[in-house]
């Protein structure tokens, strides 16, 4: 890719890219357009899909196998990355999962602990897991960026995933505290509702989308991942050198409105 741009010369891992409608894919695309060398990851049955999707990026990105709940995968991440680049300047955590049949769509009071535990591990604890696995590859000035959906309030349909995102947001603050002395920044982007594969799996998600159409002062296009991807890339760039533990809202301004 070009040697000019906001991320020129930077090496970025985007973890959790499945479909080309995902925020992760959009982040990888914008990062490449801004001069970065990008690696992407997925695991299991989705890995073959990710390998096909990688060809749709401006430059085909190497695809790593990484299950953030598998200690062996985490331990092997450094070696996998070093097959392609000699270090990382940024990591994007685009990973979340909650069983839609038991945890979402109005099932909060009935959500079983086993499924809740999985949602918290995959969606929140894994930010720490991924950051620590990537830490040997990063130096001062590197950044970690995760994705959240405003966890300060209770939303229709979001249920236990909202609790998991609250955990993610707290996890990011503690990571920012503990990685800051080494010059590693940790921030989150809180996007409005986007019509991704993950969102479509949430029963009642349409109710959330409808709220944005009337209350976001800038308006909101739930099919456009690029504004969110640009914010991710900006946070990974050298233009936020003293920002960590922050949550940047990319939601058309919805979060600031009372009604």
User: Which residues contribute to the annotated binding site?
Assistant: 16, 22-23, 67-68, 95, 165
Length of the chain: 259
Query: Which residue is listed with tokens 């049955």?
Result: 45
Q: Which residues are annotated as a binding site for NAD(+)?
A: 16, 22-23, 67-68, 95, 165
Query: Which residue is listed with tokens 């299991």?
Result: 44
Long-range Cβ contact pairs of 108-117 (< 8 A, separation 24 or more): 108/159, 108/160, 111/159, 111/160, 115/160, 116/160, 116/163, 116/164
CA nearest neighbour of 246 among 190, 191, 192:
190
Dist CA 87 CA 120 (whole Å): 29
Per-residue H/E/C for 120-170: HHHHHHHHHHHHHHHHHHCCCCCEEEEEECCCCCCCCCCHHHHHHHHHHHH
Spatial contact of 66 and 15, defined as CB atoms under 8 Å apart: yes
Q: What are phi and psi for residue 209, nearest 5 degrees? A: -60, -40
């Amino acid at each position: 890719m070009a040697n000019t741009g906001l991320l020129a010369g930077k090496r970025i891992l985007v973890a959790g890219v499945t479909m080309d409608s995902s925020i992760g894919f959009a982040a990888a695309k914008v990062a490449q357009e801004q001069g970065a060398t990008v690696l992407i990851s997925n695991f299991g049955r989705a890995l073959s899909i990710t390998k096909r999707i990688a060809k749709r990026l401006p430059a085909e990105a190497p695809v790593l196998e990484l299950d953030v709940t598998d200690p062996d995968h985490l331990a092997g991440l450094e070696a996998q990355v070093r097959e392609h680049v000699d270090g990382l300047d940024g990591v994007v955590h685009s990973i979340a999962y909650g069983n839609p049949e038991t945890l979402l769509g109005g099932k909060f009071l009935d959500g079983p602990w086993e499924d809740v535990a999985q949602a918290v591990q995959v969606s929140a604890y894994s930010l720490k897991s991924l950051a620590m696995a990537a830490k040997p590859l990063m130096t001062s000035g590197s950044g970690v960026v995760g994705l959240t959906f405003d966890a300060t309030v209770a939303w229709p349909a979001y249920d236990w995933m909202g609790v998991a995102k609250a955990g993610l947001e707290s996890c990011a603050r503690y990571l920012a505290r503990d990685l800051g002395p080494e010059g590693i920044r940790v921030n989150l982007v809180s996007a409005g509702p986007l019509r991704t594969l993950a969102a479509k799996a949430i029963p009642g998600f349409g109710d959330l989308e409808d709220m944005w159409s009337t209350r976001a002062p800038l308006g909101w296009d739930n099919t456009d991942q690029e504004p969110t991807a640009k914010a991710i890339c900006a946070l990974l760039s050298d233009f936020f050198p003293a920002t960590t533990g922050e949550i940047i809202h990319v939601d058309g301004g919805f979060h600031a409105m009372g009604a």
